[in-house]
Amino acid sequence: MATRRLSSLLSSSYVVAASSRSFGRYSSWGRGINRFSTAVALEEPITPPVQINYTKLLINGQFVDSASGKTFPTLDPRTGDVIAHIAEGDAEDINRAVSAARKAFDEGPWPKMTAYERSRIMLRFADLIEKHSDEIAALETWDNGKPYEQAAKAEIPLLIRLFRYYAGWADKIHGLTVPADGPYHVQTLHEPFGVAGQIIPWNFPLLMYAWKVGPALACGNTVVLKTAEQTPLSALYVSKLFHEAGLPPGVLNVISGFGPTAGAALASHMDVDKLAFTGSTETGKIVLGMAARSNLKPVTLELGGKSPFIVCEDADIDKAVELAHFALFFNQGQCCCAGSRTLVHERVYDEFIEKSKARALKRVVGDPFKKGVEQGPQIDSEQFEKILKYIKIGIGSGATLESGGERFGSKGYYIQPTVFSNVQDDMVIAKEEIFGPVQSILKFKDLGEVIQRANATRYGLAAGVFTQNIDTANTLARALKVGTVWINCFDIFDAAIPFGGYKMSGHGREKGIYSLSNYLQVKAVVTPLKNPAWL
């Protein structure tokens, strides 16, 4: 538990100036230093005042060691130091968890209790998250590296909202009566699948937890959740709170482990009835194949992206620069829907480049627990090295490096906010998902051209459009082959707004009413009517 409120961390002598313009709940801070540096020097990292109490696997309502007894370290991305050692689940632990979930579904109270009772448990859980929000936000920042202000002021409130949203749906799921050609009464039943296997990523551990667990439980399923090996702490913590709220044993099981062992065992398990995965497109293909080769379980996939952010010639450049900056650099660039292809009309291109460079140089990089920090470290050394490799590829391909391009500081996994201009469509940095703070800015001439180029990708997760012309906005919204189009905004993730991709960005939708269909089967019930006098 926290020894003091983390708000005290945000009142230190570390002072920065806030800008007057804010987008997407976040403001811009800091002051540029030179061409290839960013605001604020690194200092010794703060030790968060929160204890690590839950490091084991959660199976059948109990925290237990892994069957093998093995553990793995979860690291502080600010330093690379070990935060804690976590029980390492593998195939045997997945078997134990699936068995617990199966028994809870077939014999336990969860699918048998009224939907209203399930709703009340989920609402109590949301209340407990709210009560312990300081500790939860601290765990998320410590394990992931995202700014504490982002976790505390945006992500934890949305986590609470998501579970309250799904609690509200629990007792509103019902079938229909269907007219038939003949003397029959026909009704449909919407029923849970049974055991839902879920695999979540490391970039938004708690929000992805809510996107998966919320609708599955609201629909009456039981769950085996595999966390990302980089970020197991917050899911274990909040799952304990779920049981304090009255969740029966076995309904929610949490396994920390690695993809080739625990993840593969879950995807291919014959007693898992439904699978949901969020991660890279390449891994999504593997997961889908495993599910198909086992019991042909249905799979929901939310995968990679290379989202266009289109700045039209009529745009207010200052606002467009700020929003495009947010669209790419938010969460250290570690967003599947990041606006990583910034397409700018040729008439405003040069001005946009200069102001984007200046904005990147003002971006505050540092310890994510300090007030005003906009960008923390990347998640781990592997991602850190991958991003730096992409930056070198961009330089080598002829793109112009406007700012950044190197690591920031000498400890941890920090990377300077990086901006490339003169990027061409066939360059690697314009085609592949970098998943880091690297903005690629391309030039276009007219609407027809930008539509063709924006759609010329294997991905189709999201897009941003910045224009003052309603006809242009409507044309692009209809023409872009993506699951979400944000017009003059970006990264709006309301609980009711569906999210998911076209093409190789996946299939199925998270959030909103559409997510419920991921966890429900439809059964038709046909009964003959004897001597129907009304026919």
pTM over 0.95: no
Average pLDDT, the chain: 92
Work out the average pLDDT over 428-454. 98
Q: What residue spans define the domains of the chain?
A: 57-303+505-523, 308-487
Write down the CATH number for the domain with range 57-303+505-523.
3.40.605.10
Per the annotation, the verdict on 219 as an active-site residue is no
Nearest by Cα to 81 from 412, 433, 365, 488? 412
Report pLDDT for 40: 60
Catalytic residue among 88, 302, 322, 433: 302
User: d(Cα 483, Cα 305) in Å, to the nearest integer?
Assistant: 11
Report pLDDT for 531: 75
Per the annotation, the verdict on 302 as an active-site residue is yes
CATH superfamily of this structure's domain 308-487: Aldehyde Dehydrogenase; Chain A, domain 2 (3.40.309.10)
pLDDT exceeds cutoff 70 at 179: yes
Report pLDDT for 28: 31
3 state DSSP class of 218: helix
3 state DSSP class of 339: coil
Instruction: Judge whether 516 and 173 are in contact, CB under 8 Å.
Output: yes
Strands 252-256 and 341-345: unpaired
Query: pLDDT by residue (tens digit) across 32-58?
Result: 334 455 666 567 788 887 899 999 999
pLDDT band at 220 (very low <50, low <70, confident <90, very high): very high
pLDDT band at 379 (very low <50, low <70, confident <90, very high): very high
Nearest by Cα to 25 from 374, 419, 484, 362? 374
Residue matched to tokens 């702490």: 233
Work out the average pLDDT over 228-241. 98
Q: What is the DSSP string of 350-380?
A: HHHHHHHHHHHHH-BBS-TTSTT--B---SS
User: What does the block give as tokens for 102?
Assistant: 């199966």
User: d(Cα 465, Cα 308) in Å, to the nearest integer?
Assistant: 8
440 pairs with which residues across the strands?
Answer: 341, 420
Catalytic residue among 312, 335, 336, 337: 336
